[in-house]
Amino acid sequence: MRDLFKLIVAWIVVTASCSLHAGAALEHPRLLLTSDGVEFIRANLGSAPLFDESLRNVKAEVDKELALGIDVPIPRDFSGGYTHERHKRNFFVAQKAALLYQILGESRYGDYVRDMLLEYAALYPTLPVHPKERSYARGRLFWQCLNDANWLLYMAQAYDAVYDYLKEEDRELLERDLFRPFADFISLGNPKFFNRIHNHSAWGNAAVGMIGVAMGDEELIDRALYGFEASIDSQARDNDGGLIWTQGQGRGFLANLDAPFSPDGYYTEGPYYQRYAMYPFLAFSIAMENAYPDRKVLQQKNTVLVKATYALLNLADSQGEFFPMNDAQKGMSITNSSLVAAVDAAYLYGHRDSALLSVALEQGQVSLDQSGMAVALAIEEGRAEPFTKRSIILRDGPRGEQGGVAVLRDPEAGLEAVFKFSGHGLSHGHFDRLGIAIHDNGREVLQDYGLVRFVNIEQKGGGNYLPENKSWAKQTVASNTLVVDGQSQFDGDYDASSRHHSELVFSDIGNDAIQIVSAQEVNAYEATVVQRTVALVRSPQNNVVVVDLVRAESDGAHTYDLPFHYLGQVIHTNFSPISDDQRRALGTDDGYEHLWLEAVGKPTDSSAKFTWLDGGRFNTITTAAEEGDELLLVRLGANDPDFNLRRDPSLIIRRETDRRAILASTIQSHGGYDPVSEAAVDVSGDIDDIKVVSSAKGYSVAQISWTSGIVSWLFVANGDGSKGVRHQLELEGRLYKWEGPYLWIPGF
Amino acid sequence: MRDLFKLIVAWIVVTASCSLHAGAALEHPRLLLTSDGVEFIRANLGSAPLFDESLRNVKAEVDKELALGIDVPIPRDFSGGYTHERHKRNFFVAQKAALLYQILGESRYGDYVRDMLLEYAALYPTLPVHPKERSYARGRLFWQCLNDANWLLYMAQAYDAVYDYLKEEDRELLERDLFRPFADFISLGNPKFFNRIHNHSAWGNAAVGMIGVAMGDEELIDRALYGFEASIDSQARDNDGGLIWTQGQGRGFLANLDAPFSPDGYYTEGPYYQRYAMYPFLAFSIAMENAYPDRKVLQQKNTVLVKATYALLNLADSQGEFFPMNDAQKGMSITNSSLVAAVDAAYLYGHRDSALLSVALEQGQVSLDQSGMAVALAIEEGRAEPFTKRSIILRDGPRGEQGGVAVLRDPEAGLEAVFKFSGHGLSHGHFDRLGIAIHDNGREVLQDYGLVRFVNIEQKGGGNYLPENKSWAKQTVASNTLVVDGQSQFDGDYDASSRHHSELVFSDIGNDAIQIVSAQEVNAYEATVVQRTVALVRSPQNNVVVVDLVRAESDGAHTYDLPFHYLGQVIHTNFSPISDDQRRALGTDDGYEHLWLEAVGKPTDSSAKFTWLDGGRFNTITTAAEEGDELLLVRLGANDPDFNLRRDPSLIIRRETDRRAILASTIQSHGGYDPVSEAAVDVSGDIDDIKVVSSAKGYSVAQISWTSGIVSWLFVANGDGSKGVRHQLELEGRLYKWEGPYLWIPGF
């Protein structure tokens, strides 16, 4: 019986999915849900527990709102305020209620959506632009067009799903008084918002396109896909300081799909905004696939949206939280509803990858559409396989030509090192080229600060970006990368930074003994070439250690600061820091004005060592020291009148030199402390010492002495990443020869 | 079948436990394990999964050590160092191996214990006192006698369990060369250590007593129970500054059982040290019960040790972590092995309380003795019932006459308010009378700092107490209680503080609408009476709110500081703090030297409001403000050259007045923030305003205005806690009459 049942289910999945791809242009619903899809879902209710559970939860949520009744208030607030949150809640709930109407066929859900839409149709024509004046593109329901676009994209789905339930005169009224003027306002009425290459525009384009598909209005669909002619001041900027328009850039949905996504599916604004943009990209692409399959929107750029879903999953740490690159609020994870939709869609519209099923299980819910049902059925059939994240390099740039991001992983140890050598990342980018971040089983060992914003907490500046996002988070010293002469990269000039990108020099991530990536930045500082090489190696004690070589070549004397943004309590240093009793800010600009100087140490040994305890783990940075180096212990919080910054600590290695500088360090998380047994295990780690033993002729050679007595060497041939090139270097009377850009001699 | 089996098991439990109480003085083993107990255990192996699992885990751990072989190194290190950790591990493993020998009957475990003991017998006579000179009572295996006593207590059990396995000549040699001189050294050789009233002595007494029982040496048993005559300098102090000897105090195990435990089972040093002391207290008492039941040691003070186990469980937060009162390392919890032994023993030797079984389940393990088996069998029989922690007041002092500690709980909301009005707490006490701490589902809303020590982390001052424990953690400003004129209570004088205690004035914790406790301190500050009243009330929105009234009456002008030690990020204040750009330490002594002043605000409304975000929850302090009040935002970390302190923040309400001061506040945890949905719920809480509307004639009246528009009043008749007394007070033209020390008018 059971097997027979499974066969039937499998058959249904196959046939259903075939028909799903066939398109159903003239029927409603036709966006994410199709009439065939509804049949498929209804036929399988009760057979796919994860779908049934998701349905139950959504039903409970919507029923609660139905009981509360509809409220469509006059717009007034920033995010976090009542009117903002109510309108936001309205479109979420209306879309869900409409799905319930389709799946369960209960008229009360149809009535609810109809009544709400009619209230909006009565209100909308009376509305001026939103009273809050902060945005470069103010909406009418919300303080910015972006949120109006969110509304329209969800309401298009709601409308589509109850379309056949509505009387024709209601449909006419809604389209005339609400949807068409709404779509025109956020597009024709706001070219700066609609015609950009930016996640804002992706939302705007998709929203207009979705309502176009729902209404069968091909003019709106074309406007969505290609934008429209309009002149934009070449100096116009958005609220984050990003340029609105650059000569020669594309516009519309297809251009937004093309430019910010790389061929690997990396979105140049980073995973936090990619997560936000995934939903409109996918929703409109799938709507087009369902209703106008011949226009092949989903297939654009080699079906980049499916790749983008994998890229996003790979840019999450071992606990599923996204690496907070660029402007990113920490804690955002693969369980976000946008990722639920993306994973389900990537399963059904991609190649039915069983590994995505285990991600869906981790998410604990599926979308209430055909892709969600396909996923839930496959899970019920036991087809889920682990989604294993391995080391990966994702290229940035429309053609993959603008550097990229590497994630070195040791899944067994749970260690992940993120290394960023991409383009600027549009207006949400930071001046953090060649920055790294390290995660140990989801805990931040070296953190990326993320953004300075409390999204949707109205009490903190209306929930918007706070001034310290620019003065701290975007600055170079806020990231784990080299700062030259106390200045941010490109002197903090967004336009200059946007014209350039770092370059991958070489990588080798398919190796058991060592995984290594090296990248170069030549534009960020005048006449200065910085190359950083990051490797995961196994110690003789079989622990994973990050080796980090930062090499700067310049033509004059400079001060090099290499910050390491740790978290937790200092356990040990070998450089006896002297406290600064009258605490001063470390500088006056470029982020330094936010750092209190807590103490300064001088190296007393060939390596400076710094051990801290955080979350039950010990962590040690060991860095090759030179005479004159300073080790600064600093803490965030100076010049922060509104207490917008976390009081996080950092260690800064400072070197003044008129020669090249090589800052060679190891970073290891080791041992642990259990407050219940009070047992401290491996407090010191595996590294005794690290030295730079050669920096001649473009080579960097670091020698690592392990506590076990064994010595290892890492040779890097800087500048030239070619695999076939032969190198040789004499070192302490011995000649080393090798082929390719690096040589690792573990010595054991 | 299953029921029959259960009956048999139940019968075995009953008969076994009867015989367990009968004693078996002449047989071995006779300490925690008895020969009847071993039979009982063997008969039930395979029937009690939790016991079987604990046995498997211990066996795996011991087998690993057997494979490594025995190492008995020459003592050299502080805790955290190799020789310390090795000797510590040795006694833990030897005791466990000996239990395995008894339970499994495998000779290899007997051989391991014998061989290790013989190595110690060869080493011990050659040892001088330990080379580290820090302790007031240096040991020989360890840097302090305390650790030597740990060793002896565990090794006594190991010896007892393999006694019959050893040849008589081995026994003679071990007793002559090892055990007797060892017992003599930590007792006769160290009267300051052995003859105190202190957890150190409890360990020493119990260790000597245990080896006495194992060897059948009644002289040692008597020495353990009663101490011995020795003169101790009345000015002698231990390393924590505690007095060793006070005229007229008792000595020995029975005195240690009598003095620090209150009749309610509260141990005056607080739960962290109680946890540490429970094991020797229980172990020796049970050994006496098993071997010398007629001496009725276990029954002392109304079987206080069973009460003490309940007291400890009640002094843990909703997640099982102990409230870090006095010197206490955070994170210590009811899963500690000492608590496993205590809970199992309290079950078998107490009244077989089924609620203890659910605690054992939470602990996930049982002791490998008859009490552990009795617990595991009862669990398997499905007898476990929930252990519900309710509000409780535990008296302090040998006769319960020295104030106490209250824990107000709302289990439904997960809120717990700890209020301390006890004696000083011996050398581990803090100057924190009338201090509070608030926990919200295990998260600290207002924290008790705990201790400044990294137990067993050698890199931090040998794992010992650090200077900042005295200069910060013990000081009054480090706790959430009133500081008068910037000075610690009793001017930081330990002896003076030890002579006094606070007094409970009244309490009413059996009430649904309000739970309330009021206590008074009249000695800590000259000519100043401080009364604090702490209540949990339900808001009109049915949320739990802490109401806190601190009333100080004095004869002159004073500066009153009330610190609130919050954790997390500032979200909102209504008092516009002005940052102090050249950060200064707030003072020069009494803990103030460790606080950086970050900003100062002045109240702009009748209440000062302060909201912060921590662990996904919003929290708000609302405090009745007077003109001239200052609101100081401070942060720990000044004058901390070794980075021993966490950089935690605090809000200090500062009032200068020449009249009485009433500091009235509400503290609420409310709503929450989810970084995945980015939804902020209830950012502001339920309180609009709190005012002191009367402070006349010994009355304190606070008026709370809720955001719902409702107004509530709390009347407190200070000083007199009598229930029957009638009060009346005219307020804004209305006469209020009530009976008893307080009146709560919710107004809804």
**Closest Cβ–Cβ partner in B459, B596, B677 for A572:** B459
d(CA A332, CA A273): 10
Confidence label for A19 from pLDDT (cuts 50, 70 and 90): very low
Are the beta carbons of A285 and A256 closer than 8 angstroms? no
| Single pTM value for the model | 0.92
How many helices and strands, by DSSP H and E, does chain A display? 19, 27
Flag whether pLDDT at B711 surpasses 80. yes
Average pLDDT, chain A: 93
Give A403-415 pLDDT, tens digit per residue: 999 999 999 999 9
Report, as an integer, the average pLDDT of A727-737.
93
Distance, in Å, from the CA atom of B55 to the CA atom of B96, rounded to the nearest integer, reads 10
The pLDDT score that the predictor gives to residue B19 is: 40
Across the interface, of B454, B679, B683, the residue whose CB is closest to A459 is B683
Cα separation, B330 vs B192, in Å, equals: 29
Higher pLDDT, A11 or B638: B638
pLDDT at A245: 74
Mutation site, A275, A339, A457, interface B, largest B CB count within 10 A = A457
Q: Which residue of B has its CA nearest to A647?
A: B647
The least confident of A103-117, A243-257, B586-600 is A243-257
Percent of chain A with pLDDT over 70: 96
| Dist. CA A205–CA A212, nearest whole Å | 10
Q: Where is mean pLDDT largest: A11-20, A195-204, B434-443? A: B434-443
What is the per-residue pLDDT for B238? 81
Q: How confident is the model at residue A26 (pLDDT cuts 50, 70, 90)?
A: low
Give residue-wise pLDDT tens across range B624-641: 999 999 999 999 999 999
Contact B637 A641 (CB under 8 A): no
For residues B670 and B617, the answer to whether their CB atoms sit within 8 Å is yes
Rounded CA-CA distance B182/B121 in Å is 10
Q: Is the pLDDT of residue B8 over 80?
A: no
What letter does residue A74 receive in the DSSP assignment?
P
Q: Look at A165-169, A355-359, A679-683, B248-252 and tell me which has the smallest mean pLDDT.
A: B248-252
From B267-276, B488-497, B716-725, B734-743, the region with the lowest mean pLDDT: B716-725
Mean pLDDT of chain B: 93
Token pair belonging to A512: 């058991």
Nearest to A456 among B458, B641, B680 (CB): B680
Mean pLDDT of B703-725: 94
**Residue B167 reports pLDDT greater than 90:** yes
pLDDT at B15 over 70: no
Taking phi first (over 0 means left), then psi (-120 to 50 degrees means alpha), and beta for anything else, what does residue A114 get?
Answer: alpha
Q: What residue in A sits closest to B638 (Cα-Cα)?
A: A581
Q: Is residue A11's pLDDT more than 70?
A: no
Q: What is the mean pLDDT of residues A338-361?
A: 97
Clarify whether A28 is annotated catalytic: no
Rounded CA-CA distance A372/A364 in Å is 11
Q: Please return the burial class of B351, using the count of CB atoms within 10 Å of its CB with bins 0-12, 13-18 and 19+.
A: exposed
Diameter of chain A measured on Cα atoms: 91
Q: How far, in whole angstroms, is CA B736 from its chain's centroid?
A: 42
Res A412: pLDDT = 92
3-state SS assignment for residue A258: helix
Relative to beta strand A558-564, strand A649-657 is: antiparallel
On the question of pLDDT at A720 being above 90, the answer is no
- Predicted confidence at residue B11, as pLDDT, reads 39
- What confidence category does residue B697 fall into, taking pLDDT thresholds of 50, 70 and 90? confident
Q: Can you tell me the mean pLDDT for A6-34? A: 57
**Shortest Cα distance from B364 to chain A (angstroms)?**
14
Look at residue A681 in the predicted model and tell me its pLDDT. 93
Residue A243 pLDDT greater than 80, yes or no: no
pLDDT digits (tens, 9 = 90+) for B366-382: 999 999 999 999 999 99
According to DSSP, residue A63 is labeled H
Q: pLDDT digits over B99-132, tens only? A: 999 999 999 999 999 999 999 999 999 999 999 9
Contact B570, A468 (CB under 8 A): no
Q: CA B158 to CA B714: how far, in whole Å?
A: 59
B604-620: average pLDDT: 97
Position B579 pLDDT exceeds 90: no
3-class secondary structure per residue, B381-444: CCCCCCCCCCCEEEECCCCCCCCEEEEEEECCCCEEEEEEECECCHHHCCCCCCEEEEEECCEE
Average pLDDT over residues B327-344: 97
Question: Would you call A584 and B579 a contact, using CB atoms and an 8 Å cutoff?
Answer: no
- Phi, psi at A309, each rounded to 5°: -65, -45
Q: CB pairs below 8 Å between A and B: how many?
A: 129
| Tens digit of each residue's pLDDT (9 = 90 or more) over A88-105 | 999 999 999 999 999 999
* Distance between CA atoms of residues B701 and B719, nearest Å: 14
Q: How far is CA B449 from CA A291, B42, B446, B486, in A?
A: 63, 46, 9, 18
pLDDT tens per residue across span B430-462: 999 999 999 999 999 999 999 999 999 999 998
- Residue B272's closest CA among B203, B333, B344, B340? B333
The secondary structure of A682-719 as a DSSP string is -SS-SEEEEEEEE-GGGEEEEEEEETTS-EEEEEEE-S
> Least CA distance to B568: which residue of chain A?
A646
- Give the integer Cα–Cα distance in Å for B387 and B318: 11
Which among A572, A598, A676 has the least Cβ separation from residue B333?
A676
The CA distances from residue A433 to A30, A423, B182, in Å, are 44, 8, 64
Window from A530-534, B659-663, B695-699 with minimum mean pLDDT: B695-699
User: Which residue is closest to B460 within chain A, CA to CA?
Assistant: A571
Question: With pLDDT > 90 as the criterion, what percentage of chain A qualifies?
Answer: 87
Share of chain B above pLDDT 90, in %: 87
Angle between helices A337-349 and A370-380 (to 10 degrees): 80
**How does DSSP assign B202-220, residue by residue?**
HHHHHHHHHHHHHHT-HHH
Choose, out of A643, A651, A670, A707, the residue to mutate when testing the contact with B (most B CBs < 10 Å): A643
Residues in CB range of B52: below 8 A, 6 or more apart:
B45, B46, B376
In this prediction, residue A21 has a pLDDT band, given cuts at 50, 70 and 90, of: very low
Q: pLDDT of B201-228, one tens digit each?
A: 999 999 999 999 999 999 999 999 999 9
- The helix (H) or strand (E) run that includes residue A194 is helix A191-194
Inspect the interface and report whether the beta carbons of A457 and B613 lie closer than 8 Å.
yes
pLDDT digits (tens, 9 = 90+) for B514-572: 999 999 999 999 999 999 999 999 999 999 999 999 999 998 999 999 999 999 999 99
When pLDDT is cut at 50, 70 and 90, the band that residue A510 belongs to is confident
Region of A628 on the Ramachandran plot (φ > 0 left; ψ -120 to 50 alpha; else beta): left
Q: Is the pLDDT of residue B232 over 90?
A: no
Greatest alpha-carbon span in chain B = 91
Interface with chain B: mutation pick from A79, A275, A459, A634, highest number of B CBs within 10 Å:
A459
Residue A2 CB: number of other CB atoms within 10 A? 6
Please report the pLDDT score of residue B719 as a whole number: 84
Nearest CA among A279, A277, A225, A278 for reference residue A252: A225
Please state, in angstroms and as integers, the Cα–Cα distance from residue B97 to each residue in B68, B69, B179, B461, following that order: 14, 13, 19, 33
Instruction: State the pLDDT at residue B26.
Output: 66
Decide if the complex's ipTM is over 0.90. Answer: yes
- The shortest C-alpha distance from A7 to chain B (Å) reads 37
d(CA A568, CA B217): 51
